[in-house]
Amino acid sequence: MATGTKCQRSGILLFHNTTHLDDARLQAMCLEPLAGWRLDGLAVRVRYSRGAEFSGSCYYATRRIFVNLGRHLVYPYRMGTHLARARGDARSWWKPVYTIELQDACQVVLFVFLHECYHLLVRRARRNPRQKESMCDRFAARVLVDHWGAAVHDEQGRPAPRQAWDFQDLDGFVAAARRQPRRPAARRARPPGPEPATQPGSPACGAQLLLFPL
């Protein structure tokens, strides 16, 4: 447990964890998938919930994300999500509930954290933030599936094919929120003019001593 750690390399200003989870492991899990995204000035707080199994919130104005973790979850934990495609008929539409199986509390925190981060990336990319819950769930699920081997199940409890829930260009949708790589500084051109004469006692041209490597 930590009282708060600055994470300047990631761009996140403060990562504050007041749960029993190992602080170093939790930070590494949460921050590694976000390399390259603009999250400067963000403060993150992970804490226990007051009763809910889990919850999360993102405050755009103050650049804060809260992740709340239930104390008594039993693992592996099957979290209900909005991953599935919407279905409908002539009268209504609905979304089947797909679940993702998470092996421990760190994975629950990771899923909620990434979900909230995608809300922030949508905002920073100047996209319409309304009705993005499914996209946020898919952004989080991709990381859990690809890096931690999490399994996604359909509403009947069967393994859900990847194409049934991972069908959007999530990175492209928020590409404007990517951190731009620094351009190398332009090298100054040598001013026109004759080459300087070799002074007596100086090294020959082929063995010239360079003060500034080319």
- Predicted confidence at residue 150, as pLDDT, reads 98
Tokens at residue 57, please?
């919130």
- Predicted confidence at residue 29, as pLDDT, reads 95
Domain boundaries, the chain: 5-177
Longest dimension (CA), the chain: 95
- Which segments in the chain show pLDDT lower than 70? 1-11, 13, 181-214
User: 12 burial class (0-12, 13-18, 19+ CB within 10 angstroms)?
Assistant: buried
Q: Please, which residues have CB within 8 angstroms of residue 10's CB and are 6 or more apart in sequence?
A: 31, 34, 35, 39
For tokens 């693992």, name the residue: 75
- Predicted confidence at residue 91, as pLDDT, reads 82
Q: pLDDT digits over 164-175, tens only?
A: 999 999 999 999
What is the DSSP secondary-structure string of 78-118?
Answer: EEEES-SPPEE-SS-EE---EEEEE-SHHHHHHHHHHHHHH
- Predicted confidence at residue 7, as pLDDT, reads 55
Q: pLDDT digits over 64-107, tens only?
A: 999 999 999 999 999 999 999 988 777 888 889 999 999 999 99
Rounded to whole angstroms, the Cα distance separating 53 from 57 reads: 14
User: 141 burial class (0-12, 13-18, 19+ CB within 10 angstroms)?
Assistant: buried
